[in-house]
Amino acid sequence: MRILITGGAGFIGSALVRHTLLNTDHHVLNLDKLTYAGNLESLSPVEHLPRYKFLQADIADSTAVSLALAEFQPDAIMHLAAESHVDRSIDGPAAFIQTNIVGTYALLEATRAYWMALPEERKQSFRFHHISTDEVYGDLHGVDDLFTETTPYAPSSPYSASKAASDHLVRAWHRTYGLPVLLTNCSNNYGPYHFPEKLIPLVILNALEGKPLPVYGDGSQVRDWLFVEDHARALLKVVTEGQVGETYNIGGHNEQKNIDVVRAICGLLEELAPNKPSGLARYEDLITFVKDRPGHDQRYAIDASKIEHELGWTPEETFASGLRKTVQWYLDNLEWCRHVQDGSYQRERLGASA
């Protein structure tokens, strides 16, 4: 297949690009605007492969997207390009509206025009796979409730509201125009190449530098953690085997309180990085509880039984095994982290080209 992946320089997108190129014979065009969260260094393991191409472009730029579609002739589009940080959406929601809603609309329209012009056989096999989040469902208050594919939407933040809107657009383009779409909603991802503003890498890197480990509220918020490489396997499974018009929830079966995640990281660092910053007795001593953010959802948890029963996907990593791999990766790749922290990774965009 020839797969166009939007947002392929981001955390999940780059994992999908790496997985696809290293484990299949598919060709990939990575279309990414290269905002702050896009990092071409995350693609170094595959950037030399002849089946990989990169194009710096904005999904909201209909002309650029249409030209890319005409030239690359994809058999599938996997749409991951999005603004995705809740705190940033609270401080500045406009970018989330522009990228997640307007950008998705522009991409859908360019895709529809491309799809309509395909020969009938290719038209039937074409797929538009929209990758979304479990945050569109709001939060769960009971200890046993799970998000299913039919859970009503109740987004809490500007970010989740913008992703909910994009989900609705994709379903409308299927219902109204017949565009062959697939949707997936995933739980919290973690793993290698995660941008350091997110909880797990932030805690790892702050701890190594002896900085406070900020925990919102009392840290009792519960998330279902999904190792990013498990997610990449699921996404490829859905785009190649999923039923058109269907939604699949992808979860890690790994519910953890935020405070327990932070403590688990501290425990791994005690073992893997015992040489602490000067004067620090225990990494856990750095834990600092801070004021909770507005509209903070209490609990997310995914029922991933549909994708397991229909497509045969289950996560390979437990939270313990995935977290150990993640902590070790950051310890082994501090140069990648430094390039993100000092901003030097962004200079790569100056030389980015198709």
pLDDT for 354 equals: 39
Residue 128 amino acid letter: F
pLDDT for 353 equals: 41
DSSP 293: P
* Residue 129 three-state SS: strand
Residue 141 has pLDDT above 80, yes or no: no
Q: How far apart are CA 352 and CA 329, in angstroms?
A: 26
CA atoms within 13 A on the CB side of 109: 12
Alpha carbon distances (Å) from 353 to 9, 34, 56: 13, 11, 6
Residues 238-283 pLDDT 10s: 999 999 999 999 998 889 999 999 999 999 999 999 999 999 999 9
Tell me the torsion sign for CA atoms 32, 153, 217, 294.
Answer: positive
Asked if residues 284 and 206 have their Cβ atoms less than 8 Å apart, the reply is: no
Catalytic position from the list 75, 134, 224, 229: 134
Q: Which residues are CB-neighbours of 70 under 8 A, at least 6 positions away? A: 114
Verify whether residue 134 is a known catalytic residue.
yes
Q: Which residue's structure tokens are 């509220």?
A: 217
For 18, list phi and psi in degrees, rounded to 5. -60, -45
Residues 41-60 pLDDT 10s: 999 999 999 999 999 999 99
Residue 349 has pLDDT above 60, yes or no: no
pLDDT class for 295, splitting at 50, 70, 90? confident
Alpha carbon distances (Å) from 147 to 142, 162, 205, 299, 324: 11, 19, 32, 10, 27
Verify whether residue 159 is a known catalytic residue.
yes
Rounded to two decimals, the pTM is 0.93
Q: How far apart are CA 10 and CA 335, in angstroms?
A: 18
Catalytic position from the list 114, 159, 190, 248: 159
Residues 187-213 pLDDT 10s: 999 999 998 878 999 999 999 999 999
Catalytic position from the list 135, 139, 167, 230: 135
Residue 192 amino acid letter: P
Give ∠ CA 310-314-316 in degrees, rounded to 5. Answer: 160
Q: Which domains does the chain have, with CATH numbers?
A: 2-351 (3.40.50.720)
For 31, list phi and psi in degrees, rounded to 5. -105, 115
pLDDT for 85 equals: 77
Residues 150-190 pLDDT 10s: 999 999 999 999 999 999 999 999 999 999 999 999 999 99
Mean pLDDT of 68-77: 98
For 13, list phi and psi in degrees, rounded to 5. -60, -45
